Amino acid sequence: MVSAVHAWSERLAQNGAQFTGSIIRDLLRLTERPEVISLAGGLPAPECFPAEELTMAAEGILAREPLAALQYGLTEGYRPLRALVIERMKARLAIDVAQEQVLITSGSQQGLDLLGRLFLTSGTLVAVEDPTYLGALQAWHPCAPRYVTVPVDEDGLNVDALERMLADGVRPQFLYIMSCFQNPTGITLSHERRRALVEVVSKYGLPIVEDDAYGELYYGEERPLPVASMDMEMHGELRHVVYLSSFSKVLAPGLRVGWMAAPEELISKLTQVKQGVDLHTNSLSQATVYEACRDGLLDRHVPFIRSFYRTRRDVMLTALEQHMPEDVRWVRPEGGMFVWITLPPHVDSTQLFHTAIKHDVAFVPGATFYANGGGQNTMRLNFSLPTPAQIEEGITRLGQAVRDVI
């Protein structure tokens, strides 16, 4: 008789077999002791969830229109929510699309997954920022693409480097960027580079996947307009960009409601893929989000979130100035949830991690976010979840750990 565990495991598709417990998961297990201050996470602060409004919204929709929350729904998404998303994109971002150009997704993470399914197969090439969002690499892992990386500086993606790459004949399936307050670096693509980027991709016909999950979390005066807006401005339509966003950072991530906007033909294909994947995004969350937002909750609530996180960012930046040795550098993010640290070249942040754990503070070693390796001397710090007191104490401890290893 054949052993069945063996029967299952010997059948794993080549890409499936490659899954192994990730290093980051193992590292984070070390942070579970209650005395450890974790700057390693990426969670929103619970204080920023409009729990009361969401409760009222869930009650309201279940009382008024229970089928909208409980019955099977359209794969494309709950119609009133799509309309709301379209209205907001138009009013706030100058992205003007039709209903057939929007797909509601189970978080923006699912948008990445669906795109992978449609465009990536084993060995196909994807261009990503260096470093990039880990969740994108995880979403595409089962497709086993190859990556070409484009360097990033404090103004974001190096568009000249991208153009040289394209001029050299490199032809990725698409370029994936997080244009605002990138996870992990907190960096924002400058206005000038956004324009240059659209020009370059227009010239070479390179599609862009723009992930704007953090876009609403700007701590300056104005929200930068997405690259998708510029695509729209230059071409009169969404032509080169697939735009992804989410309610996770402005309402609550546990709802798992995001969306994507793209050319209609592409949304139609993505909708067909999504139908096989999960039929549709859960109706209760979609209807609750719509019900909560239709009278303008976001305009009232998101300024509070921005001010809440701005304070924490400032606390972290001040603490870094006080406690970090001179040859440590960091990005001053204009939004989002993360500060990105660059240590002197000889310092390995994975080694530092173990020292830091002894000091009861945790972070994510930056090498995790590099698709093709590198970044051993970098690390990502989160300021959205820890309290100001924890941030101050955490950075104090981290400064000691850095001094220990330097």
Residues 320-379 that bind a copy of itself (CB under 8 A): none
Listed residue (118, 137, 120, 119) closest to 128, CA to CA: 137
Binding mask 103-122 for a copy of itself (x = CB under 8 A): ---xx-xx--x---xxxxx-
Provide, rounded to whole angstroms, the least separation between the CB of residue 120 and a copy of itself: 6
Taking the complex as a whole, the smallest distance from the CB of residue 402 to a copy of itself amounts, in Å, to 29
Query: Among residues 67, 98, 167, 389, which is the contact residue for a copy of itself, using CB under 8 A?
Result: 67
402 backbone φψ class: left, alpha, beta (φ>0; ψ -120 to 50): alpha
**Nearest by Cα to 354 from 27, 34, 23, 42:** 27
Touching a copy of itself, residues 18-37 (CB under 8 A): 19, 21-22
Give the shortest CB-322-to-a copy of itself separation in angstroms: 31
Tell me the residue type at 177.
I
Q: Which of 133, 174, 176, 290 forms a contact with a copy of itself (CB under 8 A)?
A: 174
276 vs 296, which CB is nearer to a copy of itself?
Answer: 276
Report the relative pairing of strands 102-105 and 258-261 from DSSP bridges: antiparallel
Contact status: 265 vs a copy of itself (CB under 8 A): yes
- The verdict on 392 binding a copy of itself (CB under 8 A) reads no
Task: Report the residue number, 110 or 342, with the smaller CB distance to a copy of itself.
Answer: 110
Number of residues that bind a copy of itself (CB under 8 A): 92
How far does CA 182 lie from the centroid of its chain?
Answer: 7
CA 14, CA 114: separation in Å to the nearest integer?
A: 20
| Token digits of residue 372 | 């093709």
Q: What are phi and psi of 3, to 5 degrees?
A: -70, 135
The sheet with strand 338-342 has its strands ordered as 329-330, 338-342, 378-382, 364-365
Using DSSP, state whether 25 is helix, strand or coil: helix
What's the min distance (Å) between Cβ of 394 and a copy of itself? Answer: 20
Contacts 24+ apart (CB under 8 A), 346-350: 346/377, 347/377, 347/402, 347/405, 347/406, 348/376, 348/377, 349/376, 349/377, 349/378, 349/379, 350/27, 350/376
CB-based contact 41:385 (threshold 8 Å):
yes
What region does 156 belong to: left with phi over 0, alpha with psi -120 to 50, or beta? left
CB-nearer residue toward a copy of itself: 143 or 379: 143
**Exactly one of 8, 32, 168, 221 binds a copy of itself (CB under 8 A); which one?**
8
Based on the shown chain and the rule CB under 8 A, indicate whether residue 15 belongs to the binding site for a copy of itself: yes
- Asked if 304 touches a copy of itself (CB under 8 A), the answer is no
Q: Could you tell me the two tokens for 28? A: 């984070």
Q: Of 230 and 266, which has the nearer Cβ to a copy of itself?
A: 266
Q: Does residue 99 touch a copy of itself according to CB under 8 A?
A: no
Smallest gap from Cβ 333 to a copy of itself, in A, equals 21
Minimum gap (Å) between residue 12 Cβ and a copy of itself: 6
- What distance in Å separates the CA atoms of residue 215 and residue 198, rounded to the nearest whole number? 18
Residue 281 contacts a copy of itself per CB under 8 A:
yes
Q: Is 45 exposed, middle or buried (0-12, 13-18, 19+ CB in 10 A)?
A: middle
Instruction: Calculate the dihedral angle through the C-alpha atoms of 291, 53, 224, 204, rounding to the nearest 10 degrees.
Output: -40
User: Between vectors from CA 376 to CA 166 and to CA 329, what angle results, nearest 5°?
Assistant: 90
6 part of the interface to a copy of itself, by CB under 8 A: yes
Q: What is the CA radius of gyration of the chain?
A: 22
Residue span 129-168 as binding mask against a copy of itself, x where in contact by CB under 8 A, dash where not: ------x--xxxxxx-------------------------
Exactly one of 31, 132, 149, 173 binds a copy of itself (CB under 8 A); that residue is 173
Question: Whole-number minimum distance, CB 380 to a copy of itself, in Å?
Answer: 17
Span interacting with a copy of itself, options 82-90, 151-159, 274-282, 323-331, rule CB under 8 A: 274-282
Q: Which stretch binds a copy of itself (CB under 8 A): 6-14, 179-187, 297-305, 322-330?
A: 6-14
- Site residues (CB under 8 A) for a copy of itself, limited to 235-264: 235, 239-240, 252-257, 262-263
Residues 199-218: x/- map of binding to a copy of itself (CB under 8 A)? ---xxxxxx-----------
